[in-house]
Amino acid sequence: MNCTKCKTKAVIGLPRHNAAFCKGCFNGFVHDQVARAIKSEWMFGKEAKILVAVSGGKDSLALWDILLKLGYKADALYVNLGIGAYSEQSHAKVTKFTESVAASHGATLHVHTVEQEAGAGIKELAQLIHRPTCSTCGTIKRYQFNRVAIEQQYDVMATGHNLDDEAARLLGNVLHWQEEYLDKQGPSLPASVAGFAKKVKPLYRLSERELAAYAVLNRIDYIVEECPMAKGSKMIQYKEVLNRLETESPGTKQTFYWGFLDKQSKKQPTATTMAEKDRAVLHPCTSCSQPTTAEVCSYCKMMARAKTVAPH
């Protein structure tokens, strides 16, 4: 198998693009897909200050690597969830990448440790407040990423969601007809009100397999295991179904998700209408000032509850 572009020996075949690439041309292809995503979805300009949400996994570290290599100013935030060996190992991978790659581009890593603020790791915290672990985790990660982005004056927050993640999420939202989620499933969510950072997903044009190959070929050392809490989750089931379809007909995920984006772009309310809607229901939390629909935001409620029920 030879490289479609330069005809030297290929290292990866991409059936959905009917192409194969050598290492150099594959890196060029990946960088080009990210550059196209940034431009076509109006994510950010060359001078923007970007905050990348990193977990230690292949997608978020690859995203940080690609943005730095494309010449963007990108720092990162890692949230240590306190899930035993998984958190220790993922934290170590993020630190290693920061020291060996990101620092040479002048980039900084911010760290938030759940245990330090809540007095317990995510599993124990969720048990204390009687909420599912993943929804507790989601609230904490959303809150902390937004807080750091706003406090440290980043223009935009970038996450490592890839084509497989977005296609699986779309399948879940369609199966349950969750229309309000469908409306917000695009790769670029504007900062609708003051206090909310803009959020973007620059990897939505690349598959999980392509990102794993990028990480391996570029010697990015990442944590291979998924978070132990993800076991048996609906998202994993949707991904398996889509993978089966993709093997039979390469390009299925792309057609499904990109097709949805194409339809959305034709009916999407403008950023102004979305902002108007949000402005009508959101106001600052009386405790921390982050935008919320209630008087006190769900993060502050959670922390207050954790403090009252925590064993002393």
Please report, as ranges, the residues that interact with ligand Q46 according to CB under 6 A. 122, 133-134, 137-138, 227, 229-230
Q: According to CB under 5 A, which residues from 287 to 306 bind Zn ion?
A: 287-288, 297, 300
Of 87 and 298, which has the nearer Cβ to Zn ion? 298
Of 152 and 178, which has the nearer Cβ to Zn ion? 152
Burial class, 69, CB count within 10 angstroms (exposed 0-12 / middle 13-18 / buried 19+): middle
Enter the tokens of residue 15: 């059936």
What is the C-alpha separation between 54 and 60, in angstroms, rounded? 5
Of 144 and 188, which has the nearer Cβ to Zn ion? 144
The distance of closest approach from Cβ of residue 215 to ligand Q46 in the complex, given in angstroms and rounded to an integer, is 18
The distance of closest approach from Cβ of residue 9 to ligand Q46 in the complex, given in angstroms and rounded to an integer, is 37
Instruction: From the list ligand Q46, Zn ion, none, pick the one residue 288 interacts with, judged by a Cβ distance below 5 to 8 Å according to partner type.
Output: Zn ion
Burial class, 10, CB count within 10 angstroms (exposed 0-12 / middle 13-18 / buried 19+): buried
Instruction: From the list ligand Q46, Zn ion, none, pick the one residue 22 interacts with, judged by a Cβ distance below 5 to 8 Å according to partner type.
Output: none
E strands within the chain?
Answer: 12-14, 19-21, 49-54, 73-80, 109-113, 156-158, 188-189, 198-200, 283-284, 291-292
What long-range pairs does 228-231 form, CB within 8 A, spacing at least 24? 228/83, 228/86, 229/83, 229/122, 229/123, 229/133, 229/134, 229/137, 230/134
What is the C-alpha separation between 177 and 173, in angstroms, rounded? 6
The H-or-E segment that residue 53 falls in is strand 49-54
Enter the tokens of residue 124: 């124990």
Which of 125, 223, 285, 306 binds Zn ion (CB under 5 A)? It is 285
The distance of closest approach from Cβ of residue 292 to Zn ion in the complex, given in angstroms and rounded to an integer, is 6
Instruction: From the list Zn ion, ligand Q46, none, pick the one residue 215 interacts with, judged by a Cβ distance below 5 to 8 Å according to partner type.
Output: none
Instruction: From the list Zn ion, ligand Q46, none, pick the one residue 287 interacts with, judged by a Cβ distance below 5 to 8 Å according to partner type.
Output: Zn ion
Of 25 and 79, which has the nearer Cβ to ligand Q46? 79
Of 27 and 113, which has the nearer Cβ to ligand Q46? 113
Residue spans of alpha helices (H) in 74-222: 84-100, 114-118, 122-128, 133-151, 163-175, 179-183, 208-217
The distance of closest approach from Cβ of residue 168 to ligand Q46 in the complex, given in angstroms and rounded to an integer, is 12
Of 99 and 295, which has the nearer Cβ to Zn ion? 295
The distance of closest approach from Cβ of residue 280 to ligand Q46 in the complex, given in angstroms and rounded to an integer, is 30
The distance of closest approach from Cβ of residue 12 to ligand Q46 in the complex, given in angstroms and rounded to an integer, is 26
Q: Where along the sequence are the contacts to Zn ion (CB under 5 A)?
A: 285, 287-288, 297, 300
